[in-house]
Amino acid sequence: MKVGIIGCGNISQIYFTNSKKLSAIDLVACSDLDMEKAQGKAEEHEVEAITLEEMYSHSEIQLIINLTIPAAHYEVGKHCLENGKHVYSEKPFTMTVFEAKELNDLAKSKGLRIGSAPDTFLGGSHQACRRIIEDGYLGTITNGFAFMTCGGHESWHPAPEFYYQPGGGPLWDMGPYYITALINMLGPVKTVQAIGNIAQQHRTCTSESRHGDTIEVNVTTHYTANLQFANDAVITLITSFDVVAGPKLPNIVLNGTEASLQIPDPNGFGGEIKLGNRETGQQTYPVLYKNCDNARTLGVADMADAIENNRPHRCSAELVTHVVEVMESIDKAVETATLIKLETTCKQPAIMPVTKLNGSFE
Ligand SMILES: NC(=O)c1ccc[n+]([C@@H]2O[C@H](COP(=O)([O-])OP(=O)(O)OC[C@H]3O[C@@H](n4cnc5c(N)ncnc54)[C@H](O)[C@@H]3O)[C@@H](O)[C@H]2O)c1
């Protein structure tokens, strides 16, 4: 399937590189509001740089990868769909459930598909965790915790402003990885409770290119949320940009009646898994799948392959809409100090076949 990229910033590099390795997609063109950026990427990766209008009206491109900033995901996604293109967006899919539903309705009315990052749960380590759970090693999962703590992206990102505007912050920026990984393993969420705060109203960049620049903060920067899943498991999720030099905390731990599972960073495809029961204690569990490298774009290839073969894709509209509702509900819970019941739901994405985990979409 011929695809194009809109948004040629920081994260686009891995999409340009990995698109060449995935036979389900053929990346032919790229575009950006800033055409110099598009031109640079086009030359480096031997594709065509075209204007946004040319991208939307391109006669051969069927799917557009939307790698713009969060505030533009909805608008760019809507243009793609209105122009008859399937769209796969970087995370967060949209900034509100209202926007997500509108895009879903538009896609349905046009017979088009929507997908969104993250696709890291398709990696070897997370799929191995899913298999461990499905094989019953943990018994019934009743509780767990997940931690995403860091000091904020102004330490490295060349344009970090968007991380402190709606659609950014530790929940909307990093939450999609954690919430999607949890849904992959546990199924949908039914209720959330949460509290949060803001450590500083202004932050100072420490990256080399922006050293000393000040950024205004318009989002919650520390959240403690409790998610109750439809299967009754209770998971505590902490996401924070206010941990300046904290200890290394586990990314995700799930506790069952028979065993506990330590799951690696959901912002990656690989990483060490630890599994333990009362007799063994925690032990490293060997990940035998090869697909553990940075395979961002796999979700796009899965979507293109699914369209060709008329099967559901894994980074699906219903999954990403549910993830947006979980985050929106956490924000609502912080504002109102109440328990929020979710309205959307989703199925667990289909487990990846072992042949795909050991190869690619060749
Ligand atoms: N940087 C990372 O490590 C990283 C990792 C994973 C996901 N993401 C996600 O990827 C997305 C992009 O992040 P980034 O770091 O590449 O940002 P960036 O600011 O480096 O790049 C975004 C690009 O989108 C362009 N753009 C903005 N609005 C546009 C519009 N309406 N139409 C066309 N082009 C537009 C900008 O000109 C810019 O070139 C974000 O949603 C982010 O959360 C980033």
Q: How far apart are CA 218 and CA 165, in angstroms?
A: 5
Q: 228 in a domain, yes or no? A: yes
Residues 195 and 337 reside in one and the same domain? yes
Nearest to 187 by CA among 312, 296, 338, 326: 326
Q: 302 in a domain, yes or no? A: no
DSSP class per residue in 222-289: EEEEEEEETT--EEEEEEES--SSPPPPPSEEEEESSEEEEE--TTSS---EEEEETTT-SEEE----
Pocket test for ligand 1, best of 11, 116, 171, 207 (most atoms within 8 A of CB): 11
Question: Ligand 1 centroid vs 8 CA: distance in angstroms?
Answer: 7
Residues 82 and 196 reside in one and the same domain? no
Query: Domain of 13: which CATH number?
Result: 3.40.50.720
Q: Print the domain residue range for 30.
A: 2-116
Q: How far apart are CA 101 and CA 335, in angstroms?
A: 23
Residues 193 and 148 reside in one and the same domain? yes
Residues 46 and 130 reside in one and the same domain? no
- State the pLDDT at residue 362: 35
Residues 160 and 255 reside in one and the same domain? yes
Query: Domain of 241: which CATH number?
Result: 3.30.360.10
Please write the tens of the pLDDT for every residue from 172-215: 999 999 999 999 999 999 999 999 999 999 999 999 999 999 99
Question: Ligand 1 centroid vs 256 CA: distance in angstroms?
Answer: 38
Whether ligand 1 lies within 6 angstroms of the CB of 6 is answered as yes
Question: Ligand 1 centroid vs 36 CA: distance in angstroms?
Answer: 15
Residues 127 and 79 reside in one and the same domain? no
- State the pLDDT at residue 262: 97
Residues 162 and 250 reside in one and the same domain? yes
Question: Phi and psi for 337 in degrees, rounded to 5?
Answer: 55, 40
Residues 103 and 146 reside in one and the same domain? no
User: How many separate helices (H) and strands (E) can be counted in the chain?
Assistant: 10, 17
pLDDT-wise least confident of 80-89, 154-163, 281-290: 281-290
Segment 126-152 shows an average pLDDT of 96
Pocket test for ligand 1, best of 8, 10, 296 (most atoms within 8 A of CB): 10
Whether ligand 1 lies within 6 angstroms of the CB of 7 is answered as yes
Q: 349: cis peptide before it, omega within 30°?
A: no
Q: 73 in a domain, yes or no? A: yes
Residue with CA at minimum distance from ligand 1 atom 26: 68
Q: 92: cis peptide before it, omega within 30°?
A: yes
- State the pLDDT at residue 359: 55
Residues 33 and 179 reside in one and the same domain? no
Residues 58 and 133 reside in one and the same domain? no
pTM of the model: 0.96
215 contacts 252 by C-beta, under 8 angstroms = no
Q: Does position 358 have pLDDT exceeding 70, yes or no?
A: no
Among the three residues 98, 116, 134, which one is the final residue of a domain in this structure? 116
The count of structural domains within the chain is: 2
Question: Ligand 1 centroid vs 121 CA: distance in angstroms?
Answer: 21
